[in-house]
Structure 1
């Protein structure tokens, strides 16, 4: 990929925790890259949707209406109505019993929000407590890639969801 002038398509996540020697441009972590015109990757915003066919499964409907069948979607994102931003590799030559949407191998979910789309619920007790109290809940990422949940109050205050849960239980 280090060929000067090569046209590429890439998916990247902005890195806010680094300084670069060149001090030029926005530092990013490249998640996926391919030659332009050979689009094998997708990055989009969408809503996780439970599809009651073939025993039931979760799909993602993007904001433009495209349907994706996520392969390897982590359990914590399998919440009907959850809004997510995701990056994935289109799984060509993949056959599924669902026959719904474009199969895509999920590579990253840099943002997710269980209360942004009117979700029906979430299994994490801290998230449930936060939502039951009328607050918003979001999953965020640390610079090292690990994830944590936050509870967002109406006044904009953001607290760790588990800290909030433990204070009240």
Structure 2
């Protein structure tokens, strides 16, 4: 019985180490998804500037439909939690941030629509 179990175990180990002889290739859909993710996209949206206190603290822009954007180089005058803005921006593909929040964007233009909802959350940045 022991010998049978030992041979069974050796057989399982050998099976786990077997390698496939078929080359690994990406499907057309996977390639298209990767290419789309690397393209710069132009955006226009209305959102609320929000101060996020995690990962050292940073400002984000959230939209009413659930969009989350991480603006790179948001100007000092727009770093006010609760500020409602209209933004024209472009995505910054292949950029990873330590915050890992939303889509990184470069703001092309920003217009204040409403500043009556501003809170005192860390507006010093």
Q: TM-score range by the shorter chain?
A: 0.5 to 0.7
The runs of 5 or more residues in structure 1 that have no matched partner are: 1-37, 124-169
Alignment of 1:38-49 (within 5 A): 40-49=41-50
Assess, with a 3 A threshold, how the Cα gap between structure 1 residues 120 and 47 changes in structure 2: closer, same or farther.
Answer: same
Q: Which of structures 1 and 2 has the larger relative contact order (alpha carbons within 8 angstroms, sep 6+)?
A: 2
The runs of 5 or more residues in structure 2 that have no matched partner are: 1-38
Residue in 2 aligned with 1:119? 118
TM-score (normalizing by structure 1): 0.46
Residue in 2 aligned with 1:82? 83
Residue in 2 aligned with 1:93? 94
Residue in 2 aligned with 1:151? none
SS of equivalent to 2:98:
coil
For residue 39 of structure 1, report the CA deviation from its aligned partner. Answer: 6.5
SS of equivalent to 2:47:
strand
CA distance in 1 between counterparts of 2:56 and 2:113 reads: 25
Contact map agreement 2:40 2:90 (CA 8 A) in 1: no
CA distance in 2 between counterparts of 1:59 and 1:78 reads: 9
Identify, as 1 or 2, the structure richer in helix: 2
2:67 pairs with 1:69: no
Q: If you compute each CA radius of gyration, which structure gives the higher value, 1 or 2?
A: 2
Deviations 1:18-38 (A, max 9, x none): xxxxxxxxxxxxxxxxxxxx6
CA distance in 2 between counterparts of 1:85 and 1:48 reads: 10
For residue 68 of structure 1, report the CA deviation from its aligned partner. Answer: 0.2
Identify, as 1 or 2, the structure richer in strand: 1
For residue 69 of structure 1, report the CA deviation from its aligned partner. Answer: 0.3
CA distance in 1 between counterparts of 2:52 and 2:112 reads: 22
Deviations 1:64-105 (A, max 9, x none): 110000012111001000000001110001111110000000
TM-score (normalizing by structure 2): 0.62
- Structure 1 segments, 4+ long, off by >6 Å, are none
Deviations 1:44-83 (A, max 9, x none): 0000000011110000001211000001211100100000
Quote the RMSD (CA, aligned, Å): 1.8
Contact map agreement 2:49 2:80 (CA 8 A) in 1: yes
